[in-house]
Amino acid sequence: MLNHQPGHGCLLHMFPMLWLAVWLAGMQVRPAPRPDAGSARASIEGVVVRAGAAAAAAPERLADSRVELKPGNLTVFTNALGAFTLRNLPPGTYTISFTREGFIPQEDHGRGITISGLSVTLAAGQTLKDIVLPMIPAPVIAGKVFDPRGEPLAAALVRAYLRQYTPSGTQLKVVKKGMTNDMGEFRLFGLNFGEYFVS
């Protein structure tokens, strides 16, 4: 005659249920990793220099130049030696733009440099070195303003306009303005190349 001990039946049924619960927990779907997770990060190293005939022999390095990477909107400034480093970048294609007061990028279509910057493609873990970004002094409009009697006119407002083409027709847009000094002289700097109207 078999003796039935209380609780043994429940215990026998519990082990299969416990094993099933553990197995189901292991089958839970884990979140998919991000596309760039595990991809080695890349970096870009380079310098911003003053180009042109005057600097052909020994290009001057431009400190405090603003270097921006898009997409990502990562911005750095060059150090005293004109050098910059952009770190911790996922692989992809970027545009490096660079600006500095009184200068504009020197276009070099052979090297892929335009007024908008330089396009580069980074592989995972790549360090892109020896990037040279050339700049040239920005064009300047300088002159003198006289009154109707031929006397130098001080504190006169001088504006430079660029022509714009819009759906409603041609318009003039003010891109630079300044005041004449006590000798009637003015100097509008930091311009891009183009045709301007001055008033």
pLDDT tens track of the chain, all 199 residues? 445 455 554 444 445 554 444 444 544 544 444 444 456 899 999 999 998 655 455 678 999 999 999 998 899 999 999 999 999 999 999 999 999 988 999 998 888 999 889 999 999 999 999 899 999 988 889 999 999 999 999 999 999 999 988 898 889 899 889 999 999 999 988 788 888 999 9
Q: Which residues on neighbouring strands pair with residue 43, listed in sequence order?
A: 127
DSSP assignment, residue 156? -
- pLDDT tens-digit profile of 20-44? 444 445 445 444 444 444 568 999 9
C-beta separation of 196 from 162 below 8 A: yes
Taking the model in full, what pTM does it have? 0.63
- 67 three-class SS: strand
**Measured distance CA(146)–CA(92) in Å, rounded:** 56
Q: What is the model's pLDDT at position 17?
A: 53
Q: What is the model's pLDDT at position 191?
A: 84
C-beta separation of 33 from 52 below 8 A: no
